[in-house]
Each structure stands twice: as structure tokens, then as C-alpha cells.
A and B are shown apart, each in its own frame.
Chain A
């Protein structure tokens, strides 16, 4: 049974998107991506080191022809910087599918939603297909969708915190209200967190630190792959109702 999902007309099998930051080296990063089964990786756009142009590059280890590079505006704190970064990313990579995040402050890395909305509008007008990092607020999610977001990416918890999905109610409300894919972006710490996101009906999960900072990143990447698949299956299967008290699984009739 094939379970696929689409964003802006592009179809993927894997519902796990992984970052490419914080790894020990490119080899470990590439091995983790392979173990995760991810078909999309997020990448950052940064200045070339002009004093050492022969330094190894990410593209030497993770082939952009095989894995979709999703340029990300991590580190941008206003709409202008984010837009400028993605214009460069489009020129460097040649594709329009991008991930927008406009941060509000360094301490929490919470998004600045006013700037995020402004940037989404500009990018959509310029032909970009922005997947947008946002607060877990169903109203903000609708506003982003109206502004041209092709995917809504609410945080489960602060970026890099590993605290797991803090508000299942708002994530579920966003999923129910959205007509574009919803992917939890940030906050996942371990496999069960990814499963929770998928059980809430999300179309996918994006993570980086949970894999990169695990003691064995490649093994955690595999765990995340399985967790995303398990959570998705559980969502599709439809979970049992919850009861306040016990209900025996064995028949009461015929007891000796």
C-alpha cells in the first residue's frame, strides 16, 4: 500500500524531512539521511569561504539530483533578509520550493509572524513555493495559507529543544483547518514525538537536532523513519476510543 503526499504538485513517499546541520562530518550526515529515508533535506545559504574554495561542500556528499534540497532561511530575523536569502537560493539551486522562517528572537527562536506573513506574500508573488515555519496557532496558519504558503510548518516546541509536541490541541486544529500540508517543524526530541505528530494527522515532520545530537545519529535516523511510518499508520488506522476505567480483553463468559 503506497502512502504518498504532495506539496505544491511535487509528490514524495517519505514524510520525514531532515536537516543537515550539527553533524560531526559530511559522511555521518549523508549516512543519517540515507537511514532516515528522507527525500527532502533542509539546507542553509551562506557565504562561500573565498579563502578556502576547495573545502568540501555539502553537495559533494548529498546529491541534489537524488535528494530535494529545501533551502531554509534559518538565521534571518526580518522579511527582507529572508527574501534576499531565498532569491539567492533559487539562483544557486534552480528551484522554487523553499522553506521560510523569520525568527523573532534568539532565546526562543520563535517566529516573528508579522514579518513571516509579509515575506510569504512577497515570495508567493515572485513565484516561490514557500513552506512556512510558524507558531502553533490555527488562525495564523490560515493567514499564511491565504498569503500563499504551500505548506504550514508549526513548531512542536522551540527549535533544538527536543521537548516534543507541547500542544497537541493546536496542532490538531491546524491540521483540521488547513487545505495545504501541515508538517511539524522543530521540537521533536525522540521517536515517540515524531509518532505523536503523525498520529495528530500531520502530513510530515521536519527535524534536525533530534537526529544530529543523538549518540548514534544514524540509528536515530532509522528510528525516526519507523516512528513517522508508525504514527502515520496509526492515524490512518483510527485509534480506539479512550476510557476512564479498565475494560477486559478476554471474555467474561466461561470463566472457571
Chain B
């Protein structure tokens, strides 16, 4: 699971998650890190992790884990 950069200092691990239904390799870290790395504004999205809402105020506190199923949604045009 994952791989570390060579050398003395470990830089980061890559983990596999399911993001919006698609498998994806992401850097380990918090959900806030992931949202930022995707170029998204955390104020405009909502995140669900393994079917549970992750409150926006805790995005930086929740670490991603191997195999997490994440949904990142926002408002789009829609009618009745």
C-alpha cells in the first residue's frame, strides 16, 4: 500500500480512494488537502466520506484512508 519517496526524508504516500465514483490515486493527507489539490473552493462544496457527511469545519481534521469512498458535490442548475 502506497510508496514513499526514496531518500532519507519520506515525502508522502499515495493511497487509492474512490472519488465521485471513480478510482483515483491521491496523496495522503486530510480531506481539506484533497479538496485544495483538486482546485476546489471548500466553501462551495460538500463532502461525504463512506456515506457520512464530513462537516466543512472538520475537513482539515479528517485524514484520508486507503479505500475511502468520497463524494464531492456542489449546486448545479436544476428544476422541479
Q: Which residues of A contact B (CB under 8 A)?
A: 19-23, 26, 29, 42-48, 50, 53-54, 57-59, 64, 69, 71-72, 74, 84, 87-93, 101, 133, 159-160, 185-186, 206-209, 212
Residues of chain B from 28 to 62 with CB closer than 8 A to chain A in the complex: 38-40, 44-48, 51, 53-56
Q: Which of B19, B38, B45, B77 has the most CB of A within 10 A?
A: B77
Count of A-B residue pairs with CB < 8 Å = 117
Contact of B7 with A by CB under 8 A:
no
5 smallest beta-carbon distances between A and B, as pairs? A44-B78, A19-B79, A208-B79, A92-B46, A91-B46
Say yes or no: B78 contacts A72, CB within 8 Å.
yes
Say yes or no: A72 contacts B71, CB within 8 Å.
no
A42–B71 Cα gap in the complex (Å)? Answer: 21
Question: If A47-B21, A50-B20 touch, does A69 touch B79 (CB 8 Å cutoff)?
Answer: no
CB distance from B66 to the nearest CB of A (A): 19
- For chain B, the bracket of interface size reads 20 to 34
Neighbour of A212 across the interface among B20, B46, B79, CB < 8 A = B79
Residue of B with least CB distance to A91: B46
Residue of A with least CB distance to B21: A47
- Offer 30 A-B interface pairs, CB within 8 angstroms, sorted by A: A21-B77, A21-B79, A22-B79, A29-B77, A42-B79, A44-B75, A45-B46, A45-B75, A46-B73, A46-B74, A47-B71, A48-B74, A50-B22, A53-B38, A54-B39, A57-B44, A57-B75, A59-B74, A69-B75, A71-B75, A72-B79, A72-B80, A74-B78, A88-B46, A91-B46, A91-B53, A133-B80, A185-B80, A206-B80, A207-B80
